[in-house]
Structure 1
Amino acid sequence: MAINAFDFVVKIDDLQQTKLVEKVYSDELSSNEVLLKIDKFSFTSNNITYGVVGDKMNYWKFFPTEYGFGIIPAWGLADVVISNHPDVQVGQRFYGYYPMSSHLLVTINYVSNNGFVDNSVHRQALPLIYNFYTNTNLDPTFTPKTENLISIFRPLFVTSFLIDYHLSEQNFYKSSQILITSASSKTAQALACLLARHKKKNAFNLIGLTSKKNVKFVRELGWYDQTISYDSVAELNYDEKSVVIDFAGNHNTQFQLQILLSENLVYNCLVGLVDWKNLKGESSLPKKGEFFFAPAHVAKCQKEWGVSGFQQRIGIAWQQFMDAIHSTISIKEYFGAQELQKLYSDMLNGDIDPNNSNIVYINKTRKRS
């Protein structure tokens, strides 16, 4: 019996262009193949970064589609609907890196106590952290109440945890202020929460830079000592040794910060590209920043602490973060490809309320009252 499916794809050289690509899966799978039906995934500004650097960072290679188009990856959950692997059962639920699609076909060589790795040929050279799928039935942290929060924050939290560890390992570059751009974004929120624990001992101020419309939201988070809108960057104290953690990628903001801080900019960490429309400007940047590639830092930490030690440290910090924010999270749900298209367009154009965290149920339609 044929199974109808679809992919939500974007044009690689024009992210504004999207379409649905219909496809068909056979119910007769090859040996060790498993077909998962995607239930839901989170959508944050991080997904836009995946699209912007899709070529440079190989994100388009995870879920190949027709020429000239790409599938933006997302973190979410899916259920097994057909299995031709003896250790994977129909009905099992897995968390991991999924396409913005209705289904995903994977090839499995080995199933561990926690899950499996997709060993499809096109994924074998890609970072392992993106190819592992966690069996939620065997992980007590996954419950109906926590699934959405894990999808929204945990992948981003890992990046924030790694940045926090890198900064602490470097003694925060002996800076007296740390500036975070796109301070309302989910990854920035997690990082601010982590860094706030170090402020008193290491004597630095934490400053959030954001758009004027998000100043109130960022200020009320409670982690930043000061919140400044982008059009007021000149108000910064630029006589202080400073670290910049840039999630926005805005060329003009980078230029202003580099000129104002000059030699006092002791570390310029480039993480995200939320403001993807303004990556270039008229003036060349005085200094180049250092791109923060999370998988490389994961490998470093796992070498230092072991895989289980790394997971244990992440788990402790994650639980502390969840305790700090769970009561303030507002989930906004989207259903089906049409609502995904609207959410994608709004996120691409920066028309998103930072108070909301977005979950897409890709195979469901909204119930009409």
Structure 2
Amino acid sequence: MSTIQALDFAVKQDQLHQTKFITKTYSGDLASNQVLFEIESFSLTSNNITYAVMGEKMNYWKFFPSQTGYGIIPAWGFAKVAHSSHPEVKVDQRFYGYYPMSTHLLVHVDKVGSMGFIDVGEHRKTLPTIYNYYTNVALDPANTPETEELIAILRPLFATSFLIDDFLAEKEFFHASQIILTSASSKTAQALACLLAHRKKQQKQDFHIIGLTGTRNVDFVKDLGHYDQVLSYDSFAELDADKKSVVVDFTGNHQTQFELQVHLSQNLAYNCLVGLVDWQNHRGKNPLPKRGELFFAPTHAEKRQKEWGLSGFHEKLGMAWQIFLEAIQSSILIKNYQGRDGLEKLYLDMLNGQIDPSHGNMVSLGKAL
């Protein structure tokens, strides 16, 4: 194959505001069963910031190795096959999956099935399979040209929300009468609130869904229509501390956790830790009275895939996805960013919490380089 110049966007692992672009070259023939992707576009959400903050602890840096001390943040998006040495993966086929913030990705193809294949590159063999699977866009019944950007932005977040909703239902919501979601404007929280509201209506559940958010986002969160009550962080003392409660925390803010735990005290039935939207404040001087439990979506996904089968799992996920898609399509504005400058600015804005919850952000690094 001809020589290809590629570009990676990397961040310093212990100084996330420090970024750099790294060039690399792909040249020569591919090894057996290798595929070189040309990455078309990927989404950038607060979920990617969680990947970066938890990069070392949760092995996110291992997916796409970079220079010593630097990491490439994983992102969900679309790519086309630029070169292939696998007989069942053809040039110009398009795949949805887990990509680096880069222009290209070299993968090692195995287990090609009716919907896609798994990357079995040596460095990814011990990582969760859910991240190593690439879906053939043409064979994905959930994919349409009209929803493609929404899939990249929302489906990875939605899968986490779907799994939390399923986990809480399995645990009978810990017999709580109120479920409190922090960072209620975040898209993962929106999706969870939507599923909880749907379950509440369909199954006649009697829990109260409460969203906590920043003052400037209160009206936006109320307008979503999923929450029974919306409170700003500086007024959450209005929460009824006499009711048994579940907290699903997407902020990672230490002080918010401390105040919620103190306020709810013994009526905090379950404290589910999910995200790090407010990653710069995840430490504090006050020791937490009651530590929460980190929810790692791939673990619950693997459990359900064994119980329901892979097709059963995807069928249930797909049905729930349609519910959320119908609810959110009218409330999200897609914003597109191109090239080095576009990606770097968006990333730093996201890192600094300067985001509009009504926007969905897509990046094409290969354009306007």
TM bracket (short chain): over 0.9
**Equivalence map 1:43-82=2 (5 Å):** 43-82=44-83
Partner of 2:149: 148
Query: What is the SS of the residue equivalent to 1:196?
Result: helix
Partner of 1:109: 110
Query: What is the SS of the residue equivalent to 2:198?
Result: coil
Partner of 2:122: 121
Shift of 1:226: 1.1
Equivalent position to 1:247, from 221, 230, 250: 250
Q: Return the alpha-carbon distance in structure 2 between the equivalents of residues 87 and 199 of structure 1.
A: 45
Q: Return the alpha-carbon distance in structure 2 between the equivalents of residues 19 and 318 of structure 1.
A: 36
Q: Return the alpha-carbon distance in structure 2 between the equivalents of residues 234 and 109 of structure 1.
A: 53
Q: Return the alpha-carbon distance in structure 1 between the equivalents of residues 168 and 112 of structure 2.
A: 36
Shift of 1:217: 0.8
Q: Does 1:344 align with 2:347?
A: yes
Give aligned pairs, total.
366
Shift of 1:27: 4.4
Shift of 1:300: 1.1
Structure 2, unaligned runs of 5 or more = none
Equivalent position to 2:357, from 340, 343, 354: 354
Between the two proteins, what is the percent identity of the paired residues? 62
Greater mean deviation of Cα atoms: 318-327 or 61-70 = 318-327
Aligned partner of 1:76: which letter?
G
Aligned partner of 1:355: which letter?
S
TM-score, normalised to structure 2, is 0.97
Partner of 1:159: 160
Partner of 2:240: 237
TM-score, normalised to structure 1, is 0.97
Query: What is the SS of the residue equivalent to 2:111?
Result: strand
Partner of 1:132: 133
- Superposed CA deviations along residues 102-126 of structure 1, whole A, max 9, x for unmatched, are 0000011332121111111000000
Structure 1, unaligned runs of 5 or more = none
Q: Does 1:259 align with 2:262?
A: yes
Q: Does 1:307 align with 2:310?
A: yes
Q: Return the alpha-carbon distance in structure 2 between the equivalents of residues 337 and 210 of structure 1.
A: 32
Shift of 1:146: 1.3
Equivalent position to 2:325, from 322, 325, 329: 322
Q: Return the alpha-carbon distance in structure 2 between the equivalents of residues 28 and 198 of structure 1.
A: 52
**Equivalence map 1:191-202=2 (5 Å):** 191-199=192-200, 201-202=204-205
Greater mean deviation of Cα atoms: 101-110 or 242-251 = 101-110
Q: Report the RMSD for the aligned CA atoms in angstroms.
A: 1.1
- Superposed CA deviations along residues 42-70 of structure 1, whole A, max 9, x for unmatched, are 11100000000001100000000000000
Partner of 1:20: 21
Shift of 1:218: 0.7
Greater mean deviation of Cα atoms: 127-136 or 355-364 = 355-364
Over 3 Å off, 4+ runs? none
